[in-house]
Amino acid sequence: MASSEHDQLASYFERSASSVQNYASKLEYEYARPTIKASKAYFEKYPVVSTFMLAFSILSILPALLFLASVTFLVVSVLAVALGIALMTCTGIGLILLSLLIFALATNLCIATFITGSIITLYLSLRFIKLVREKGRDGVHQWVLETWEQAALTVTKLPFNDDADNTSEASSKSIVIVNSTGEDVSQTSSPRGEEDTVKNEGPS
């Protein structure tokens, strides 16, 4: 088992080494050697120009690298600044739109409250005039009672009063009475609201 794995690794290493060697040989014979031969021939034919080009190339490497680094840094900086400005602009516009939305909702709330109050006032005024015309002073009393009943009914039908109503209704249906011997006697009221009476007989 170990020998087979070793053979596989050795075979894989040999194939890799052979592939690298083939690529190196191809690079050497197809690119490196022809370039060296052409450079040598050019140097032999034009020695002064070749020397100048070599010196110029060596001296120009550092400025070219600095230029590329500067351009890359400038592009990255501009992109970062532009992205930051875009984010700040989007945030500012979003806050402005949010403020406008809140202002619009608050305005609508005030308008809706004013309209509702105006309608209620108009209705109560018309109802008051009608009752006074029909019944005189008794109409005023009836109007006050109707207004009070409507207000109480509206308050009791509010959503936050549902839990309180359910709790009070459940507690009203259960009555606990303690007799003279200390025993608890629980009675449940009927749905009609009739009260159950419990008679406790004392010791004779």
Helix (H) or strand (E) segment spanning residue 184: strand 184-188
pTM of the model: 0.44
Residue 202 has pLDDT above 70, yes or no: no
State the pLDDT confidence band at 73, using cuts at 50, 70 and 90: very high
Distance CA 170, CA 75 (A): 74
Q: Where are the domains of the chain?
A: 46-113
Residue with the two structure tokens 């004392």: 202
* Integer angstrom CA distances of residue 87 from 78, 80, 93: 14, 11, 10
Average pLDDT for the chain: 78
Structure tokens at 180: 């003279």
Q: What is the mean predicted confidence (pLDDT) over 127-155?
A: 86
More confident residue, 140 or 86: 86
